[in-house]
Amino acid sequence: MLMEVLAKRRPTDEEICNENLDLRKWITQSFSGSMMDVVDANLFSEDEQITSKSEMCIASMIELGLDCTKEMPESRVTMKEVVKRLNKIKNAFLET
């Protein structure tokens, strides 16, 4: 769900399905280029400057989403690890 929110795409999105991809594969392919090409432009207002800190925060969340959706269930992170990582992302973003 985190990937759907950040990318503003559904797993059944026409663009993704037409390329015979799932959301995870689409993001992985796009993520290898510019990460901001994957992210929903509406997450930031027009006058809001995207900082390196906000880019790092979003990259960390996308990486977490990818780790949660690995093909092999035993390779996925635990919910305990998800909570730790989300708190770490939040704390890093809030630091001044």
CATH classification of 2-41+48-94, choosing from 3.30.70.100, 1.10.510.10, 3.40.190.10, 3.40.50.970? 1.10.510.10
**b/e burial code for range 15-27 (CB count within 10 A of at least 16 → b):** ebeeeebebbebb
How far is it, in rounded angstroms, from Cα 38 to Cα 95?
25
pLDDT tens-digit readout, 45-62 = 666 666 777 778 888 888
Token pair 């959706």 is at which residue? 69
Q: Which of the four pLDDT bands, split at 50, 70 and 90, describes residue 10? A: confident
pLDDT at 34 (0 to 100): 63
8 A C-beta contact, residue 38 and residue 62: yes
Cα–Cα distance list, 78 to 6, 10, 19, 62, 71 (Å)? 21, 24, 30, 16, 14
Stated pTM of the model: 0.75
Q: Which of the four pLDDT bands, split at 50, 70 and 90, describes residue 67? A: very high
pLDDT at 45 (0 to 100): 65
